[in-house]
């Protein structure tokens, strides 16, 4: 079973997350409506089961909620993937969303890195600061131990750009964690 359950409590957030890489129920409640929408899209387009409950210090702003969710989701990916054997390891995907186009490429390598290239014409989508997108993706990549490249090629609407980025990342990860029959990690070293 490629599943993980993570609980993380700090003075800023209280998070409970269950991830199933092979699908299942999707239930997300972070207290930030647009972020919930992005995570629902991420799980649905990735084909992941995701149960997530977050209580954060939203009276400050959404930063801790978004970043800490990325940390916990990344930890869950790392735990669910184990030694990374029998997966395709690499994935890339383009997602068009009306006038916006986004691209994601991922390497489940054990070497965390993020390249993020996106501009947001509007600062906010509802209660979500679009600048939090890079914070979430960085936390996800570094805690999952993946290399993640994200690029918004163009777009005029921050909602469309942000959603295209989340969906592109989800599809790229879906391809990268897809099972194969090799029985070993996809690496000339023999280990990831």
* pLDDT value of residue 82: 95
Task: Tell me, yes or no, whether 188 lies in a domain.
Answer: no
- Please give the residue range of the domain that contains residue 22: 3-176
**What are the distances in angstroms from CA 137 to CA 11, 26, 86, 133?**
22, 20, 25, 6
* pLDDT value of residue 130: 98
Token look-up 């600061």 returns 129
Q: Is the pLDDT of residue 190 over 90?
A: no
- Higher per-residue pLDDT: 192 or 87: 87
pTM more than 0.85:
yes
* pLDDT value of residue 35: 98
Using CA atoms, how far apart are residues 78 and 11, in angstroms rounded to an integer? 24
Give residue-wise pLDDT tens across range 82-130. Answer: 999 999 999 999 999 999 999 999 999 999 999 999 999 999 999 999 9
Using CA atoms, how far apart are residues 41 and 97, in angstroms rounded to an integer? 13
How large is the C-alpha radius of gyration of the chain? 16
* pLDDT value of residue 97: 98
Task: Tell me, yes or no, whether 191 lies in a domain.
Answer: no
Query: Which domain CATH number covers 19?
Result: 3.30.230.40
How many beta carbons lie within 10 A of that of residue 105, not counting itself? 19
Task: Tell me, yes or no, whether 181 lies in a domain.
Answer: no
Q: Is the pLDDT of residue 1 over 90?
A: no
Task: Tell me, yes or no, whether 139 lies in a domain.
Answer: yes
Give residue-wise pLDDT tens across range 125-176. Answer: 999 999 999 999 999 999 999 999 999 999 999 999 999 999 999 999 999 9
Q: Is the pLDDT of residue 57 over 90?
A: yes
SS3 content of the chain, % helix, strand, coil (to 5): 35, 30, 35
- 105: β partners: 92, 149
Task: Tell me, yes or no, whether 192 lies in a domain.
Answer: no
Give residue-wise pLDDT tens across range 14-30. Answer: 999 999 999 999 999 99
Q: Are 41 and 54 in contact (CB under 8 A)?
A: no
Task: Tell me, yes or no, whether 186 lies in a domain.
Answer: no
Total domains, the chain = 1
Task: Tell me, yes or no, whether 189 lies in a domain.
Answer: no
| Helices (H), ranges, 50-157 | 63-81, 132-144
Task: Tell me, yes or no, whether 100 lies in a domain.
Answer: yes
């Amino acid at each position: 079973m490629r599943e993980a359950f993570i609980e993380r409590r700090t003075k800023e957030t209280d998070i409970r997350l269950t991830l199933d890489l092979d699908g299942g129920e999707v239930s997300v409640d972070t207290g930030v409506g647009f972020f919930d929408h992005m995570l629902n899209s991420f799980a649905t387009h990735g084909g992941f089961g995701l149960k997530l409950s977050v209580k954060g210090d939203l009276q400050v702003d959404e930063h801790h909620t978004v970043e800490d969710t990325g940390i916990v989701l990344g930890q869950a990916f790392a735990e669910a993937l184990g030694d990374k054997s029998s997966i395709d390891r690499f994935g890339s995907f383009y997602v068009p969303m009306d006038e916006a186009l986004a691209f994601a490429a991922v390497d489940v390598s054990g070497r965390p890195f993020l390249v993020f290239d996106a501009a947001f014409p509007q600062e906010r989508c509802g209660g979500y600061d679009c600048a939090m997108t890079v914070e979430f993706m960085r936390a996800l990549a570094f805690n999952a131990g993946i290399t993640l490249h994200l690029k918004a090629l163009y777009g005029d609407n921050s909602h469309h750009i942000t959603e295209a980025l989340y969906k592109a990342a989800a599809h790229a990860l879906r391809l990268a964690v897809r099972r194969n029959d090799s029985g070993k990690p996809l690496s000339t070293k023999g280990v990831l």
